Amino acid sequence: MLRYSLKRALSLLISLAVASLVIFAVIEIAPGDPASFMLGVNAQPDTLAALRTELGLDQSKAERYVSWITGMLRGDFGTSYTYRTPVSQMIADRMWVSLPLALYALALSTAIAFPAGIYAASRRGKVGDLTVMSATQLGVAIPNFWFAMMLVLVFAINLRWFNAGGFSGWDKGLVAGLHSLTLPAIALALPQAAILARVMRSALLDILGEDFMRTARAKGLSRRQALWRHGLRNALIPVLTIIGLQFSFLLAGSIIIEQVFYLPGLGRLVFQSISSRDLIVVESVVMLLVFAVITVNFLVDLAYAAVDPRLRSRT
């Protein structure tokens, strides 16, 4: 297990290094000089030069890459070109919206998908199964931002159960905070729940054909008892992997959903920074998201290997 973990950790580091190089390179070839963008077209050459020195733009590319990486390792993400505030602070503020939103959506998606998948598998080929499967077909075809607009139309504009957008902030209490994240979380969770329900169903159907399930039945367990005691636990392995992967989709998906609900999260930060060409913010947020995704996948791999010893020897 230790050997496997170290090997995976090494590949995690390589992935992160290559990812950071790619992101840095893409931002580097972006046209336009941040200093002249900040000062406008009428800037004096010496002020421009001074600002370039202050921002570290006069250093070589390699120096800037190294200082970006070492800075990030210390938690220093640089200073925003437009707001002149530390990027780490801006990210930390927004994180308190995006992360709870992604986790909320993950919880919802699991809460919907598990019963739906189990129900469909237990009613295989019958009307109940067909209904759930058709619903999941529809679920994966609906763009989440459109679903979000429909939720706003019905539950915010017509029924007035929720606000159409904005975030109350956590200082008004957990309930108020969760209340304002509910519609976005539902919109985000829907397509993921559809995928997860399909995975849950097929994982269970695979398990139902296994010998140990037949043994469980032969022992006198009813279909339902065998499914709950033996089937579900074994089916969870592939399902957990998908849940891990979904976290990254949810985090990335929240970027668009935040636009629909005007939520002050990482997504809005990215778009604001793009429109003001505040590329250092874009660079750091993207790196952070990639870091989160790669790390979550790494943890899922480790958890998977811990559960299923056969995997450790394979790589």
Task: Please give the residue ranges that form the binding site for another protein (CB under 8 A).
Answer: 11, 14-15, 18-19, 23, 26-27, 29-30, 137-138, 140-143, 145-146, 149-150, 152-153, 157, 248-249, 251-253, 255-256, 259-260, 270-271, 274, 279, 282, 286, 289-290, 293-294, 297
Of 28 and 54, CB closest to another protein: 28
The answer to whether the beta carbons of residues 4 and 305 sit under 8 Å apart is yes
Residue with tokens 């909320």: 104
Of 216 and 289, CB closest to another protein: 289
State the minimum distance, in angstroms, from the CB of residue 275 to another protein.
Answer: 9
Amino acid 96 reads W
State the minimum distance, in angstroms, from the CB of residue 83 to another protein.
Answer: 17
State the minimum distance, in angstroms, from the CB of residue 199 to another protein.
Answer: 15
Write the CB contacts of 189 (distance below 8 Å, at least 6 apart in sequence): 105, 106, 108, 109, 112, 250
State the minimum distance, in angstroms, from the CB of residue 147 to another protein.
Answer: 8
State the minimum distance, in angstroms, from the CB of residue 260 to another protein.
Answer: 7
What are 186's two structure tokens? 């539902």
State the minimum distance, in angstroms, from the CB of residue 43 to another protein.
Answer: 23
Estimate to the nearest angstrom the gap between the alpha carbon of 247 and the chain centroid.
4
Of 143 and 309, CB closest to another protein: 143
Q: How many residues does the chain have?
A: 315
State the minimum distance, in angstroms, from the CB of residue 286 to another protein.
Answer: 5
Of 100 and 191, CB closest to another protein: 191
Rounded to whole angstroms, the Cα distance separating 139 from 22 reads 34
Of 216 and 279, CB closest to another protein: 279
The three-state secondary structure class of 79 is strand
Amino acid 267 reads G
DSSP state of 142: S
Distances (CA, A) of 182 to 143, 171, 253: 18, 17, 15
Of 122 and 273, CB closest to another protein: 273
Estimate to the nearest angstrom the gap between the alpha carbon of 12 and the chain centroid.
18
State the minimum distance, in angstroms, from the CB of residue 281 to another protein.
Answer: 11
Estimate to the nearest angstrom the gap between the alpha carbon of 99 and the chain centroid.
8
Burial of 148 (0-12, 13-18, 19+ CB in 10 A): buried
Of 165 and 225, CB closest to another protein: 165
DSSP state of 171: G
| DSSP-assigned beta bridge partners for residue 79 | 86
Single out the residue of 305, 258, 245, 301 nearest to residue 94, CA to CA: 258
Of 226 and 286, CB closest to another protein: 286
What are 237's two structure tokens? 């392995």
